[in-house]
């Protein structure tokens, strides 16, 4: 992929970096090639000052159509897990590491494709700006793509999940699985254990956020 196809998002960020300004500017981003085929940018849901930020991988097909994060099948699992962890979704900020849907066309269906590292890097200025505007106490990375974007390095879910580690900015970061991974276990005997582990990870993040101070 030629570099000119992924110039990065920095030049498309607004001068004012509050959430309202960021959301207004995001549809104009041409930081990587994904904007060409996606229906629209999918930015975030939530408000500044929430103690928890959840970062996913990228929008899915449903999110791309509706323009909001986690409104499809994986979003329903996330909603239920948050409720079971005692977390009000209105008290979390939800976003993705990559703001446009990457897919391949298969007949009439659009099949999810994992974002390339170049897409993650190109989109990272948006996430940095969101972190600065929201100032969460703890960031929950839903999957390896989110972990790479937040921590700036490859992560291994099996080795790192479930405990709060310190990010480069001193903010707490917790790695867990992406709820879409749970979708693939719906009829599997391991579903209950996997779902319970996911809820436990969210609960651990919430407890850490309660005891942490807001980043300065």
Residue 89 in domain: yes
Residue 158 in domain: yes
Q: What pTM was computed for the model?
A: 0.95
Residue 114 in domain: yes
Domain that holds residue 171: 3-211
Choose among 77, 60, 95, 89: nearest CA to 183. 77
Q: What is the pLDDT of residue 154?
A: 96
Residue 91 in domain: yes
User: What's the number of domains the chain is made of?
Assistant: 1
Give residue-wise pLDDT tens across range 155-189. Answer: 999 999 999 999 988 899 999 999 999 998 888 89
Residue 129 in domain: yes
Give residue-wise pLDDT tens across range 70-124. Answer: 999 999 999 999 999 999 998 999 999 999 999 999 999 999 999 999 999 999 9
CATH number for position 172: 3.40.470.10
Choose among 14, 23, 4, 8: nearest CA to 69. 23
Residue 216 in domain: no
Residue 136 in domain: yes
In this structure, are residues 149 and 135 in contact, taking their beta carbons and an 8 Å threshold? no
> DSSP 3-state assignment of 172?
strand
Give residue-wise pLDDT tens across range 183-206. Answer: 988 888 999 999 999 999 999 999
Q: What is the pLDDT of residue 2?
A: 44
CA gap 187, 191 in Å, rounded? 7
């Amino acid at each position: 992929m030629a570099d000119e196809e992924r110039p990065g998002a920095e030049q498309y960020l607004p001068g004012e970096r509050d959430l309202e300004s960021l959301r207004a500017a995001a549809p104009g981003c041409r930081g990587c090639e994904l904007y060409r085929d996606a229906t629209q940018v999918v930015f975030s849901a939530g408000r500044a000052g929430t103690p928890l930020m959840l970062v996913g991988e990228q929008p899915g097909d449903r999110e791309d159509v509706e323009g909001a994060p986690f409104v499809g099948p994986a979003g329903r699992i996330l909603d239920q897990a948050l409720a079971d962890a005692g977390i009000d979704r209105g008290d979390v900020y939800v976003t993705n590491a990559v703001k446009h849907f990457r897919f391949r066309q298969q007949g009439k269906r659009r099949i999810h494709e994992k974002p390339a590292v170049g897409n993650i890097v190109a989109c990272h200025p948006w996430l940095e700006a969101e972190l600065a505007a929201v100032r969460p106490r703890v960031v929950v990375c839903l999957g390896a793509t989110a972990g790479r974007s937040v921590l700036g390095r490859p992560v291994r879910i099996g080795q790192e999940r479930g405990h709060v580690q310190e990010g480069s900015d001193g903010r707490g970061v917790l790695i867990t699985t992406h709820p879409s991974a749970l979708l693939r276990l719906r009829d599997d005997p391991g579903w209950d254990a996997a779902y319970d582990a996911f809820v436990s990870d969210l609960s651990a993040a919430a407890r850490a956020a309660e005891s942490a101070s807001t980043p300065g």
